[in-house]
A and B are shown apart, each in its own frame.
Chain A
């Protein structure tokens, strides 16, 4: 079974600061990796995903993530955060080499951006 660890539970940044949120997973086979964002009071929305090809993937709103297979990591980055990025961020994984589509989520990282 897969598991996902997000070590940063709560991050506070000032506007224009750079962001990196950590995500590590445990699974030895092929994986599909996702970052979702949940703005206050809203449902989860997809930020970006990786399943093959270039390990550096770009998503919406200036976010990007890098898949490092040797480190079992898929960290989320943004060069300059805005107040509107205040939200909760979830890393998720499923096994690409099985028929299972259901996601295993990390516990989430709450990002607070101060103006």
Chain B
């Protein structure tokens, strides 16, 4: 199994450009998440989804949009990139069973630089 796959792995954008990050999981997980990781700040939740067709805001949603049209895919979009969005982006997925005690499985990350 591939687990959680993120594309692309690296990208450099100019301020104002748009792009979409793709996350795909093959574990049939209901829950999917997008985090950003910045030095000294750990991971912060951007948006998440509890199932196909549903999305919700996390801690730092401004400037991002998401879509979950298919259960296995969770897309993160930047409509107009800003330098403050330079970060490493991680996607994760988890099973919905239990009371949140199922671990999240992470992708390898996308390193995004906005010039």
Contact = CB atoms under 8 A, between A and B. Distances in A.
Contacts of A45: 106
B2 interface: no
A107 B108 CA distance: 19
A101 B94 contact: yes
B90 A44 contact: yes
Contacts of A95: 100
A33 to B, nearest CB: 9
Contacts of B94: 101
Which interface class (under 10, 10 to 19, 20 to 34, 35 or more) fits B? 20 to 34
Given A43-B107, A102-B48, A107 B96 contact: no
Contacts of B101: 32, 49, 51-52, 96
Contacts, number: 70
Nearest to B56: A102
B45 A108 contact: no
A46 interface: yes
A54 interface: no
Given A42-B108, A44-B106, A106 B42 contact: yes
Interface of A: 4, 6, 9, 30, 32, 34, 36, 42-46, 49, 51-52, 90, 92, 94-108
